[in-house]
Structure 1
């Protein structure tokens, strides 16, 4: 899923009037179509959800679930165009945050609070956070996760690195060790920009702290010294030239992109979400037991906690005019027995209480454990803030990584965009 990485979230589609919460009282012979746009294009989730659709349709002969998986980047592009149409499909993927808030303000999203009141308590509070506003629920979580470093244990050993770094200084030293051993330290999909924003976002969390990021979303001021310092720390890394050759033109999941570069042993690590192992396996040879995970290092003297996590997940919102069956279908696929199958497959991480034991993959278990121990959680900045602000974060950080913007210019550009919103 990735993800992984992100912009406005509205899709064009048609739907009929309904009040949600349970299947409507229409005649069983009356045909109902529920259009479902999602980003589950990779296995095993693609097949798992397709099976859920077949099961639901078999139990509800008058209902057709029009399952439309769309590749992540194409999905975002289509949504950006459709935002101005004033329509949504009946069910659609959302990352929540500021993007979902804009859709709510535009009257495009159904308030699910009353419809899901009897079963929303099954979800963990952290998984619901990005989809709740003013005490109301506007989407149902299907996955949650965090961004961290996925690394090649064998290459670390070859470079003389005994254990993953715990601090930013140690991380920079390890980058130097990898380079000295003739190993490309980091793979980056520079062309897609969103993977690069992870570095600045995490550094802002570690240097300025979560409260500062929340405050910046209110006062629209990213020029504070701590945000400039985050950029300066990132420049320290960039100055070491840690990325693979041609990274500025590299994609994420392409055959020669970020995930494949790590998967094929051509770079020692990547900063990516919990979906990384699956994408690496799809894009390259896969690292098997050599694949490991460590959390983003702390920054000496920073105000943020090393146990604060950055990431997000994926959920499903319901269009304002969707038929009742849309909510009923979401209830079905989030039944404890059904969602557990998705968790057991490794496609998603737990969002329902008591699912933790269903995580079988050891790497994903590490992520789940880190999330369980997290003292704070920050949603992806290109989702937490309004779309224009999130895009500016991506663009300006990409420019910093490319060497065309200074840390001060990054902070100023994000501030100017935020104040103009």
Structure 2
């Protein structure tokens, strides 16, 4: 299997068009969604990871609206925390019984689900309305020219920071190089400010650091070549780990970070939202989750800022290459006919405008005018100028390889591994596939 990688040639014709497309008007009619063709009683089992507000209530409200318009359809929703979702979905897949509708990030995980016959080909059934969606957002859900998932949002990972804590430490501008970033961390610590919030227990937030450093040090082409050759044991990838170890050695994370989860009480988002830490490396959803996880329910407000991952001096990668992805949905092989119709309903302009108003960068081009959050606008603008794009490594690579990236990097961050052992472990798993 060829490992999906959204490189300069594939994503950026689209990602470069992303922000431009955001200004376009609707490409088609947004008439009320017709009822499902099959009027027999149908139950849709929907699994997703929106366990916090506003997403939790937002999607439940949309499901109720669809049920009201289609009395023959019942939607059972199961919200799950990220890691619990992945584990439960894996078990369901191994049993050959995937949920009818489930959250997906595309990439290598989706490719294996396609190979296993677990998901439906949506190429024909959604053709009438997927033209209204941003072309870039469809890429991770396209396998060998066929569409197996529908993107709900799109975005990228970057550093979110507390402007007040930066000012307290006398830092007047975000760092632009990795050396400057390490100096920023040291300066924050010297002023009694905890530099970085990290959900060490979840592991996936930690892999963001190694992934970006690999991109900056080795470059996107090297990541693609390593995925194809199944060999990550190269000097550049070892150097990426060395750069991360230099950060870890500064002890920049909050107390108890190894046991912290992303969106749980006392976790990464809460530490940021409560103003206890100065930075976090996270996706475009960060400000919303910071707010919902904060004790006040108000988060940082206009105190939160955004900057892209710094350049690495002497690195082969471009500082304008972006890393991230989006949330989307796939339909299980045994899903009832109404599931495709419900998915179309979720992606209509009205529902996507609701999401945009709550801090989401929508994929429906006609919903972009509802974006109110200046931080989301910043992400959109940054994506528009990106020169390349890499999907999350734990999604772009086959599941076992992606999981090993998370595990190996987590061990390095915990002080239990070395840069050399990280690439050796990833390579060993890749070659076993």
CA distance in 1, matches of 2:166, 2:418: 31
1:409 aligns with 2:424: no
- Alignment gaps of 5+ in structure 2: 1-32
CA distance in 2, matches of 1:283, 1:342: 18
Residue in 1 that maps onto 2:64: 54
Q: 1:80 offset after TM fit, Å?
A: 2.4
Residues 145 and 311, structure 1, Cα contact 8 Å, conserved in 2: yes
Residue in 1 that maps onto 2:321: 308
Superposed counterparts of 1:348-367, under 5 Å: 348-367=360-379
Residue in 2 that maps onto 1:320: 333
Residues 152 and 326, structure 2, Cα contact 8 Å, conserved in 1: yes
Q: 1:402 offset after TM fit, Å?
A: 1.5
Tell me the TM-score normalized by structure 1: 0.91
Superposed counterparts of 1:11-410, under 5 Å: 25-26=37-38, 28=39, 30-284=40-294, 285=296, 286-346=299-359, 348-410=360-422
Tell me the TM-score normalized by structure 2: 0.88
Aligned alpha-carbon RMSD (Å): 1.7
Instruction: Indicate how the Cα distance of structure 1 residues 49 and 251 shifts in structure 2: closer, same or farther if over 3 A, else same.
Output: closer
Residues 408 and 417, structure 2, Cα contact 8 Å, conserved in 1: yes
Residues 353 and 368, structure 2, Cα contact 8 Å, conserved in 1: no
Instruction: Indicate how the Cα distance of structure 1 residues 337 and 266 shifts in structure 2: closer, same or farther if over 3 A, else same.
Output: closer
CA distance in 2, matches of 1:338, 1:278: 18
Residues 100 and 332, structure 2, Cα contact 8 Å, conserved in 1: yes
Q: 1:25 offset after TM fit, Å?
A: 4.2
- Alignment gaps of 5+ in structure 1: 1-20
SS of residue paired to 2:377: helix
Residues 356 and 368, structure 1, Cα contact 8 Å, conserved in 2: no
- CA offsets 1:224-283 (integer angstroms, 9 cap, x no match): 111111001111111112112222222222222222222222211111111211221222
Count, aligned residues: 398
Residues 22 and 327, structure 1, Cα contact 8 Å, conserved in 2: no
